[in-house]
Structures are given as C-alpha cells and as structure tokens.
Structure 1
C-alpha cells in the first residue's frame, strides 16, 4: 500500500537515475571499455561503482534511526576529498570487482534493475525520516539529493567518450549546482555551464586563468569534493 510520499527530492532522483539509465541501456560490450572522467576507470568500472552506490541507497532507505542528523545534503560531501588513499583503494576495488562480469549485459541488467528499485523506494520514503549511511545520519530527503548529485556527476563522467549519449537531467544538474554553491559558500559565475562547473569543482578539469579570476579567493578551495 502506498504511503503517499513523492517528495521533490524523490522526483529529482528519478530524473537523474532515468537519464543515467538511458545511457547505460544503450551500451554494448565494446562501448563498455571506453574511458570515463574517473581516473583509471572504463565505462564498465564506473557502472559497477554506480551499482554499489544504488545498493547502498537501498540499504540506507531501509535503515531508519532515531539518532539526530549530523549531515545534510551539502555537508555530506565534506568527507569526500579527492586524491586520498581511500579514493585510490576504491578505484582498484571497483576495477577488480567490475572485471568479474565477463558479459557486460549482466552488469548492465544489474545496474538498470537496481536503479529502478531505488527510484521505487525513494518514492515511498518519508523525506523527513532519518536514515544511516556512510557512518552518518541524514534525513531521507537529504540522502536522495546526495544520490542525485552523485548520479549526475557520474553521468558526466560516463559520457566523456560517448558524445551521442543522452545528457544528464536538468533536475540533476540543478542539484549539483546547488550543492557546489553551498560548499563553496557563494554562487559560481552564472555564465559557467552546469557541466563545466561540476567538472572544475570536483577536480575533473582545471580552472582556466579567467575562471580563477572570476572566482577570486574561493578558487583556492577547489576541488570541493571528488
């Protein structure tokens, strides 16, 4: 029986996941070996990583807690610094485990069905309910926003060598921009596209001299997460 919850965060996550799923659904084995925007990962490695994130989402949405929230949709990202030993280990782990799928179709199927399950669970979740994930407590609504942000950033990563692939959803890109502005403490220049902002603010692309000048002292705080 439906609980009647369909939050704006759930709608944003649905849009982000459906856009990403449209990319993966159209991939064949040869395309799964294309490079991505993530250091050392081919498309299939990143798809495996995104499956793991979706599985984490399912666990979190079914792990309610009475503990107070210690993170929100912005501060959640403060723990995720690039170029750490943990990040390097994570890259290796995804490559090794993703390689165990000899048939990319199996991995693709797992990805599509897991993301669809998360979308369903998100639509049933009370956005005010507190849940546990990654050693922190967030409201379910804030968790959904973080998931949409990660899915959208990785959508950009996934399509680096796939120029004809579907683009990220406007809702997902808006969530990324709002998150980055929150971490930066000020809005980025409006002339920056959402995709460009996402790449430079997460260490996937270097700032140009003009962009650094436009940001001023705040430029030294980049990357905001990776």
Structure 2
C-alpha cells in the first residue's frame, strides 16, 4: 500500500500543478480521447481519482474477487459503458467555468481520497461501482493507472513533454506487463513501456516480433 499510495499522491500532485498553470484556452483543446476536450478529460480523471471516498463510506465486501489487472476487463469498455463515461465527463466539465475551478476541483477530489485511504485499516476491501470486490490497495493501483495514463493524453493535447512521475510509472508499467521484464533487446524505460503497451506509441515490426517471441502478453484495456 505504501508504494501505491506514494505513486497516487505523486502523480496527482503533479497533475494538480500542471492544471494550475494552464491558460483558459487550454481547456478547450482536443485530446487523443475523442470527443473529449481537455476540460472533459480532466473531469473524467477527477471523478476517477475521487471515487474511493464514497466507496470507503460503504460496508466492505467479505472477500476480494479481482485484482487490479482483473478490474480492467471487457465489461468496463462496452459501448454502453463508454457512452455513459463520455457523457458523464462532459456534463461534469460544463459545471466548472475556468482553470482555477478545474484545478481546485481536482485537488479536492484526490486529496479527499488520500485522506480517506489513510484512515483505513490494513487489508481493507472495497466494492467498485461495477460490482468488483477487491482490496483497497489493488483498487488504488487502478487509480494510479487512470491518472498516469490519461496524464500522457493530457500532455499530448497540451503539446507538453510527458510529466509521468517515476513512482507512478513504476506502478503502471508493472501492472501492464504483469510484473515481467520487457523482452531482451528492447531498451524501453517505464514511460516507453507504458506508451507501447497502451497503444499510445506504435510498435515497430522489430518490437512486435520481439514481444511475440517472448510470449509477453501485457494487460490490454478492454481485452
């Protein structure tokens, strides 16, 4: 939990810093996650970062049934779920006028989650809105993925270098590869691994061959 919580705090604090420095026009930039603009994607990330507050206010399930890898299954990416996710983020984004409000809203959400997590006993279990029963640590790991990977999308939309923090990069890369090292012959750092594994950077023919020959089957969102 300590390492995952550190990664969550580091990545959220970095995103908060970025948001506070935006210009008003930045919020309307298109992102690589159509039809979302920056304000919509930030609203989506804010919701994800803050979701644990309500989850921790409800009774814990009896036992864990999935881990972080199992959480990212096909049921989370059906057309119906995707449509609801898109519409919800756009509605929430319209409620916030400008950069100060957007940044403050995100700050409140992630800090409330961090405080709620800090108050929990070791081994706390939670149930997600999709019905998954899992440990708090494993669900928080999915929040690091949400903030970190969508941070790459926001950086692209804002024409900035990725700001992914080392602690978050380590958590996300470990999850995407199932803890296995990248194939020999691929000189990938964690950021490159994440970009390649999530389709945010294309594999070359050589890279694809090395991945296939190694038998590495990394986590695929929706797969």
TM over 0.5, shorter chain:
yes
Post-superposition Cα deviations, 1:109-136, rounded to whole Å, max 9, x if no partner, equal 2111111211222222234111111311
| Uncovered stretches (5+) of structure 2, i.e. residues with no partner | none
Residue of structure 2 in register with 1:3 after alignment? none
- 1:29 lines up with 2:28 in the alignment: no
Indicate conservation of the 8 Å contact 2:20/2:100, yes or no. no
Question: Would the alpha carbon gap of residues 83 and 215 (structure 1) be closer, same or farther in structure 2, given more than 3 Å must change?
Answer: farther
Question: Would the alpha carbon gap of residues 37 and 188 (structure 1) be closer, same or farther in structure 2, given more than 3 Å must change?
Answer: farther
RMSD (Å) for aligned C-alpha atoms: 2.7
Distance in 1 separating the partners of 2:8 and 2:209: 34
**TM value normalised by structure 2:** 0.84
Post-superposition Cα deviations, 1:137-182, rounded to whole Å, max 9, x if no partner, equal 1111111111112111111111113344671111111111011011
1:110 maps to which of 105, 115, 121: 105
Indicate conservation of the 8 Å contact 2:8/2:144, yes or no. yes
Residue of structure 2 in register with 1:16 after alignment? 11
Residue of structure 1 in register with 2:202 after alignment? 206
Question: Would the alpha carbon gap of residues 211 and 79 (structure 1) be closer, same or farther in structure 2, given more than 3 Å must change?
Answer: same
Indicate conservation of the 8 Å contact 1:202/1:222, yes or no. no
Residue of structure 2 in register with 1:52 after alignment? 47
Post-superposition Cα deviations, 1:18-71, rounded to whole Å, max 9, x if no partner, equal 122122121121111223232322111111101211231211233341421111
2:134 maps to which of 138, 149, 152: 138
